[in-house]
Amino acid sequence: MKIITWNCNMAFRKKAAFILKHSPDILVIPECECPDKLKFPDDVAKPADIVWYGENQNKGLGVFSYSDYKFKLLDCHNPDFKNILPILVTGNDIEFLLFAIWPTIRKIKTALM
């Protein structure tokens, strides 16, 4: 099984072919537009299953299955932690918990007195 995470810096639909060359089974994409906006070109593989979460339709956390794996966002997901998605992954006679994470770096400014 190959799990890849890649911050696509938005517009995943236009960049998907670049990462799909690596044949992921599961793909975690921070800064991904919502599924309603994902219109892939005809020559780009379509995911078998998707979980997406975000407050901005242009920039959320997307998890894509390019295999027989199915996803279920667990009820324990806390919307206050929007950048961490607990997902039950099932398929191919296995089941596991995947934490899809959108890491962020915040700059802290300090004032010199």
pLDDT beyond 60 at 33: yes
Average pLDDT of the residues in 29-42 = 88
CB contact at 8 A, 33 and 11? yes
pLDDT beyond 60 at 112: no
Q: Domain segments of the chain: what residues? A: 3-101
- 56-107 residue pLDDT tens: 898 999 999 999 999 998 888 877 777 889 999 999 899 999 999 887 665 5
pLDDT beyond 60 at 110: no
Average pLDDT of the residues in 22-51 = 91
Helix (H, G, I), strand (E, B) or coil at 10: coil
- pTM (2 decimals)? 0.84
Q: What is the CA radius of gyration of the chain?
A: 15
Q: Does domain 3-101 match CATH 3.60.10.10?
A: yes
